[in-house]
Amino acid sequence: MPELPETETIARDLHAAIVGARIVAAQVLRPDVVRGVTAAGCARRLHRRTLQRVWRRAKSVVLSCDDALHAVVTPRFTGALILGAPDVADAYACIRLTLADDRELRYTDVRRLGTFAVFDSAALHAWSDALGPEPLDPAFTAERLSECLRGTKRAVKAVLMDQKRLAGVGNIYANESLWRAGIRPARRAASLTRHECAMLHHELTGVLREAIAARGTSFRDYRDAFGARGSYAAQLQAYGRGGQPCTRCGRVLKISHAIDGRATVWCAGCQR
């Protein structure tokens, strides 16, 4: 599913492309993806709104409009925000926002596991406050990461993916950052030393920045705002490489689904 680098890429693209544009029509085709308001209320509240900012929080893209209205789009596994010409045939289109300049912003979702929420500012703040800190925020230091990991017996990988403790990191980048830091994913989070926390902080922020520069990771579903694929998959060293040799020590990478049911890939030789 789209994680921090993918949703950051979408948000940056849309911010550059549609800020200042006015929504002249809002059509809800799949009401089951709408949250925070009824389908009719969603269409009504977005009608004639002007887009003022597009930004990311955790794994969501936020469309902030005038009159303190915010659409929070969480793509999850198969969702996408696509900017293009109106009336494009799309059997999986859930919401279509027609802009005054004859472009369309379309939320499309094959499995409809993602959500499209409409919040006022108070609801937006309540939603955001329930999430953990952003790993690329300058205030997120190695000590802050240590605080996130402290006081829990859970596996360090599970804690990294817990959005209430740390926002935006999912399975791909948890696997990658732990491999790069040489830390076994099943290690109890509280057992990490200060040095290991500093190393993990360095590798986590590094892999996220590199993935943003590559416009995210595409295996099957993820596309950017213009329908293009991200290229970071070619740089992955752990995720998706179970059963292949570790590029650092040569041992065969192990794969398990024991941590939260997600695919965990690690090297028993160089991750401790």
Neighbours of 2 (CB within 10 A): 32
Q: How far is residue 103 from each of residues 13, 21, 203, 243, measured CA to CA in Å? A: 15, 9, 39, 46
Residues 6+ apart with CB under 8 A from 88: 104, 106
- Is 59 noted as a catalytic residue in this protein? yes
Neighbours of 85 (CB within 10 A): 9
Catalytic pick among 56, 57, 59, 165: 59
Residues 6+ apart with CB under 8 A from 66: 49, 50, 52
d(CA 70, CA 72): 6
Catalytic pick among 103, 209, 254, 262: 262
- Containing 237, the helix (H) or strand (E) segment is none
For 152, the token pair is 């829990």
Catalytic pick among 3, 8, 176, 196: 3
Catalytic pick among 2, 75, 135, 185: 2
d(CA 1, CA 75): 8
Residue 206 near residue 95, CB atoms below 8 Å: no
- Is 53 noted as a catalytic residue in this protein? no
- Is 153 noted as a catalytic residue in this protein? no
Q: Which residues are catalytic?
A: 2-3, 59, 262
